[in-house]
Structure 1
Amino acid sequence: MLTAEARIPTDRPSRYLVQLCKHFANKGRHLTHRPRAHTLPEVPPDQIQVEWTDSDGTLRLPWGQCTLHALPGTLRVRVEADNRENLERLQDLVSTHLGRFSKRDPLRVEWQHGTGPVART
């Protein structure tokens, strides 16, 4: 399994975690009602699984998984996929959405590649 992780400095890590998770949880509700420029390509709504609390979240898509943790002053995001193409796809998806959500105070997402388990701090 290939992985990449980003530790994103922010005063509102929980806000961004919840916003990202809610956004993907709602994908299935509006995909059939109105076309969106940023809908997920080739993903039926029933294949998007999202779970979250104020401090932890998980997004499961057919091409991989994203795990989020809100820590004091930091949003930690980890993506996992079976191949490089899908890993990059997840990285781009998360980075693009966080960029849209943080237009007033842009978040800086810098990915580090690795293969180990998520360290909980």
Structure 2
Amino acid sequence: MPLSRAEIITSSGERLINRLCKHWAHKLEVEHGEQEAKITFANGTCLMHAEPDRLIVSLETLEENHLDQLEGVVESHLVRMANDEPLEIVWEN
């Protein structure tokens, strides 16, 4: 299974998880606690874990071509939810 991972330096990991989960809960299967979340998309899964100084995001898909698409969706939503906080997101796969 294709995998991708990003460690994003931020002190707002918990807030980002909460905002994303509330946003996506209307149309996707979402499981989340204060520091962790799992979002199930039609073409893959996103796991997020907040640490005091970073947000760790892991993506898993069944097909390689879905990985780039899912990275783009998750990244654009993270940037939008972060408001004015600049996020540097580098995917490793």
| TM-score clears 0.5 | yes
Uncovered stretches (5+) of structure 2, i.e. residues with no partner? none
SS of 2:15's equivalent in the other structure is helix
**Which protein is bigger by CA-based radius of gyration?**
1
SS of 2:40's equivalent in the other structure is strand
Q: CA deviation at 1:108?
A: 1.2
What does the per-residue CA deviation read over 1:88-110, in whole Å, with 9 as the maximum and x for residues that have no partner?
11100110001111231121111
* Alignment match, 2:73: 93
* Alignment match, 1:76: 56
Runs (4+) off by over 4 Å: none
Pairwise CA RMSD of aligned residues? 0.9
| Richer in strand (by share) | 2
The number of equivalent residue pairs is 93
What does the per-residue CA deviation read over 1:8-30, in whole Å, with 9 as the maximum and x for residues that have no partner?
0001110001111111002x3xx
Q: TM-score, length-normalised on structure 2?
A: 0.94
* Alignment match, 2:18: 18
User: Within 2, Cα distance between the matches of 1:21 and 1:59?
Assistant: 8
What does the per-residue CA deviation read over 1:22-41, in whole Å, with 9 as the maximum and x for residues that have no partner?
11002x3xxxxxxxxxxxxx
For 1:8, give the aligned amino acid.
I
* Alignment match, 1:2: 2
